Amino acid sequence: MRRVVLIAVPYLWLLALFLVPFVIVLKISLSDIALARPPYLPQLDLSAGWQGVREFLSGLDLENFVFLTTDDLYWKAYLSSLRIALVSTLLTLLVGYPIAYGMARAAREWRPTLLMLVILPFWTSFLIRVYAWMGILSTEGVLNNVLLFLGVIDEPLQIMNTNTAVYIGIVYTYLPFMILPIYAALEKMDDSLLEAAEDLGCSRLQAFWLVTWPLSRNGIVAGCFLVFIPTIGEFVIPSLLGGSDTLMIGKVLWEEFFSNRDWPVASAVAVVLLAILIVPIILFQRNEQKAREAEG
């Protein structure tokens, strides 16, 4: 009984906070838009008995999913989101790996302090940090003023309201999610392996490529998934830092829900987005399972 209760708690948590909301969104995606409250039909009327259930089921259809294939806006938004997420993940890896490597190679008494500095941005509101980047990247912001003062540029750069600003915001926001798993993998590495590789004739670069990089691969994969998965559906950063040319599915989803008030189409967009994310989520879980088995 104790084992059943222990296992049931996380499953009930997933049932209440994931499965039930997903079923509701899936139901709305199969409905039709209506000038009502809520703004979709059909609605289940349990007071009508089985007749009400049959009418409810007969009113569900796949028209919203078919509509997504007929409008170029949606598939372009999905492709643009995938492209931005892939590029952002690569940039975050290029920035985060050297930081994690430096933390792992630092003196042991300094590692907790460096780790705290990585986690420190989470103590500030995410929205405030994004607004801070608006002040830094704007035409009259800190970055342009510094570059003009140093004589690097003759006129202010247009960084705000571009994809470049979106990449900067995403890399800054999700950088700790890349650093922490890589640092965890590198911190557990046995330094004697590098010494053995150098004794066998490897240079430091060869030892890094043949020993350090393979041993940190699980951390790299975990960090990439932790950045890639939430970036696809990102809404706040492209809305505040991006411009009209920045097309991401999170912005389209928000506009369908709150601007167009088309809940069925917005729900269909959300269901397709979740279907796209299932593949990296499953791969991430398998990678974590293999890592645990290797440690065991």
162-176 pLDDT tens trace: 999 999 999 999 999
Q: Could you list the beta-strand ranges (E) of 6-160.
A: 32-33, 40-41
Q: What pTM, to 2 d.p., does this model score?
A: 0.86
Residues 6+ apart with CB under 8 A from 34: 40, 41
CA dihedral 173, 175, 178, 180 (to 10 degrees): -100
**Residue 1: per-residue pLDDT:** 75
34-68 pLDDT tens trace: 877 788 888 877 777 788 788 888 888 899 999 99
Is 86 among the domain residues? yes
Is 94 among the domain residues? yes
Percent of the chain with pLDDT strictly greater than 70:
99
**Residue 245: per-residue pLDDT:** 83
Is 118 among the domain residues? yes
**Residue 202: per-residue pLDDT:** 85
Is 56 among the domain residues? no
- List the chain residues with pLDDT less than 70: 295-296
Is 261 among the domain residues? yes
Is 73 among the domain residues? yes
Number of compact structural domains in the chain: 1
3-state secondary structure of 158: coil
Domain region containing 170:
64-295
Is 71 among the domain residues? yes
Burial class (CB in 10 A: 0-12, 13-18, 19+), 240: middle
CATH number, domain of 182, equals: 1.10.3720.10
Is 49 among the domain residues? no
**Residue 132: per-residue pLDDT:** 92
